[in-house]
């Protein structure tokens, strides 16, 4: 039997402190291959030079040791604590960063709704040196060339910290990878932490998929039929944000009045199990 979880369920998370797969599961690309400013001179130069890879996991102790001005994370209000991951764009000679942090493959379950990607970020230092970066999603691979869809283009990330949220419900039923690309131009250092994907209507098991249940036609012009060997209790249609658009106890539905797009059809059976599928309205 499928168990339906009504609260938000965490699909993936990474906080660099043990909640998540850890840096070894991520892929780094130092495309710019530039040399960080440092190591001698000011505290700021020492911190820049500490980040030798595209992104480096650092502790607050690491950062304090390289720059004594930082006694606490500037983005503590966003929940940054313990380890964070850092990237810089302060190079010698000066230039634009092109540093990638690519997640492992993440499955967004079929039927999941209100799927949100969240993360905490901050720039360091003076407001004259706020970092720029982009967040991408790919369904095809983990190479730089696979990331053509931009989820968010962040300009001048505040040095007081920020929490970002992007809805990725349209990717339900697919395997995805998320990439963070630092493309700041001669700025300083940025931190990322608390990367998470969470959703509603995540099914704990998938046993109902073994039953003889078909929802058709798909794509459809409007009519939806269900053929099953189980007794139906109800039929519900959601949009990708999780909003209920239509409910019925019939084995037929008509969504001809709906706009073209992708919808979720959830069938609840008399035995308490459920089946959810994406349906495309032409």
Q: How do the domains of the chain map onto residue ranges?
A: 4-200, 206-281
Instruction: Report, at the CATH architecture level, how domain 4-200 is classified.
Output: Sandwich (2.60)
Name the more confident of 38 and 104.
104
Beta-carbon count within 10 A of 157 CB: 23
Is residue 197 within 8 Å of 168, Cβ to Cβ? yes
Name the more confident of 153 and 202.
153
pTM of the entire predicted model = 0.71
* Of 100, 92, 51, 86, residue with least CA distance to 186: 92
What is the spatial distance between Cα 143 and Cα 208, in angstroms, rounded to a whole number? Answer: 35
What is the spatial distance between Cα 82 and Cα 193, in angstroms, rounded to a whole number? Answer: 10
Q: Are strands 261-269 and 274-281 parallel, antiparallel or unpaired?
A: antiparallel
pLDDT at 3 (0 to 100): 33
pLDDT at 7 (0 to 100): 57
Tens of pLDDT along 57-105?
998 888 888 877 777 777 777 888 889 999 999 988 999 999 999 999 9
Fold classified for 206-281: Immunoglobulin-like (2.60.40)
Q: Which residues pair with 166 in a beta bridge?
A: 117
Tens of pLDDT along 224-250?
988 888 888 888 887 766 677 888 888
Q: Tell whether the torsion through CA atoms of 28, 33, 37 and 39 is positive or negative.
A: positive
What is the spatial distance between Cα 156 and Cα 130, in angstroms, rounded to a whole number? Answer: 5
Non-local CB neighbours of 152 within 8 Å, separated by 6+ positions:
134, 135, 164, 166
Token pair recorded at residue 99:
């540093």
User: Which of these ranges, 47-61, 71-85, 112-126, 187-201, has the smallest mean pLDDT?
Assistant: 71-85
What is the spatial distance between Cα 199 and Cα 167, in angstroms, rounded to a whole number? Answer: 10
* Of 117, 122, 123, residue with least CA distance to 135: 117
* Of 85, 103, 92, residue with least CA distance to 32: 92
* Of 137, 140, 125, 139, residue with least CA distance to 90: 125
Peptide bond into 186 cis (omega under 30): no
pLDDT of 2 over the 50 cut: no
pLDDT at 271 (0 to 100): 73
Quick one: average pLDDT of 110-132?
Answer: 90
Chain centre to alpha carbon of residue 94: 31
């Amino acid at each position: 039997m499928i168990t339906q979880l009504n609260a938000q369920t965490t699909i993936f998370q990474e906080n660099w402190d043990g909640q998540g797969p850890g840096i070894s599961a991520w892929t780094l690309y130092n495309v710019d291959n530039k040399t960080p400013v440092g190591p001698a001179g000011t505290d700021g130069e020492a911190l820049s030079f500490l980040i030798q890879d595209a992104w480096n996991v650092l502790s607050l102790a690491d950062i304090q040791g390289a720059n004594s001005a930082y006694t606490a994370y500037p983005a503590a209000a966003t929940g940054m604590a313990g380890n964070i991951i850092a990237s810089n764009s302060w190079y010698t000679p000066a230039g634009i960063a092109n540093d990638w942090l690519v997640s492992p493959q993440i499955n967004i379950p079929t039927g999941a709704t209100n799927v949100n990607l969240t993360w905490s970020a901050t720039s360091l230092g003076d407001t004259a040196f706020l970092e720029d970066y982009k967040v991408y999603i790919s369904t095809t691979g983990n190479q730089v060339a696979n990331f053509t869809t931009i989820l968010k283009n962040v300009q001048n990330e505040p040095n007081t910290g920020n929490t970002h949220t992007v809805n990725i419900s349209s990717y339900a039923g697919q395997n995805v990878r998320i990439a963070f690309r630092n493309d700041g131009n001669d700025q300083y250092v940025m931190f990322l932490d608390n990367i998470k994907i969470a959703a509603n209507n995540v099914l704990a098991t998938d046993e109902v998929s073994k039953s003889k249940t078909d929802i058709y036609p798909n794509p459809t012009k409007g009519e939806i039929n269900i053929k099953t060997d189980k007794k139906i209790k109800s039929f519900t249609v959601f949009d990708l944000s999780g909003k209920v658009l239509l409910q019925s106890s019939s084995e037929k539905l008509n969504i001809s009045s709906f706009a073209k797009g992708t919808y979720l059809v959830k069938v609840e059976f008399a035995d308490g199990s459920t089946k959810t599928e994406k349906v495309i309205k032409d």
